[in-house]
């Protein structure tokens, strides 16, 4: 009938500026090298939203590239997370909209807890690229916290994307969507037990494949 079973995602590689990618990946490799010899701490940051509308990675797509997904109203929990290659995770959650103020509050709190020079790797989302955010950078730098922006259209270089993918498509089960209370409890459980019951192995075979290949 002409239907296809495929992943619902767009390829962003064609939008990349290859010169910019090469330059920023080279710098990211340097940060990772310093991290491996305990010169700096390295965290990858990103925000994600969870709702009772299940995340669909695959589905049937119509021949004319029209996707039909039944709508479902739901509350939403938004999380800003910071994840290191050794699986140290710090998260901040809200049921309100994530904006620049929220992200700045999170990083301000995180900056008060760092024990040595630390680099946070972020993508180019609007909540990371606004005047309010930039106003805080000098203060964060004075505390030893530095912001590094990934190349545009390069989500594959942000390892915390792997965590969000595991949560949505592997660790959250169909029975967790039966009520908001149960759903929220499971998300909190995953976060609290991350690194113990829930693990991702970011070893040289996974993380460095992105940066050092």
Average pLDDT in the 141-166 region?
92
For the chain, domain boundaries: 4-211
Burial class (CB in 10 A: 0-12, 13-18, 19+), 73: exposed
In tens, the pLDDT along 83-134 reads 998 889 999 999 999 999 999 999 999 999 999 999 999 999 999 999 999 9
pLDDT classification of 184: cutoffs 50, 70, 90: very high
- State the helix-helix crossing angle for 100-111 and 131-142, rounded to 10 degrees: 0
CATH ID of 4-211, from 3.30.70.520, 3.30.499.10, 3.30.420.10, 2.40.50.100: 3.30.420.10
In tens, the pLDDT along 67-95 reads 444 445 678 999 999 999 888 999 999 99
């Amino acid at each position: 009938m002409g239907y296809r079973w495929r992943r619902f995602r767009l390829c962003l590689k064609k939008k990349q500026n290859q010169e910019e990618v090469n330059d920023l990946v080279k710098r990211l490799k340097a940060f990772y090298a310093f991290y491996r010899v305990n010169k700096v701490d390295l965290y990858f940051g990103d925000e994600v939203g969870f709702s009772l509308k299940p995340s669909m990675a695959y589905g049937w797509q119509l021949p004319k590239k029209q996707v039909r997904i039944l709508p479902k109203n739901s509350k939403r929990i938004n999380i800003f997370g910071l994840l290191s290659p050794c699986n140290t995770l710090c998260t901040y959650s809200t049921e309100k909209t994530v904006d620049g103020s929220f992200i700045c509050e999170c990083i301000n709190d995180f900056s008060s807890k760092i024990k040595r020079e630390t680099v946070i790797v972020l993508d180019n989302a609007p909540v990371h690229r606004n005047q309010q955010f930039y106003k805080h950078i000098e203060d964060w730098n004075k505390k030893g916290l530095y912001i590094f922006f990934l190349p545009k259209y390069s989500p594959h270089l942000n390892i915390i994307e792997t965590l969000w993918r595991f949560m949505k498509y592997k660790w959250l089960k169909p029975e967790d969507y039966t009520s908001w209370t149960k759903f929220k409890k499971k998300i909190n459980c995953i976060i609290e037990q991350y690194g113990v019951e829930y693990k991702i192995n970011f070893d040289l075979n996974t993380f460095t494949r992105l940066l050092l290949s």
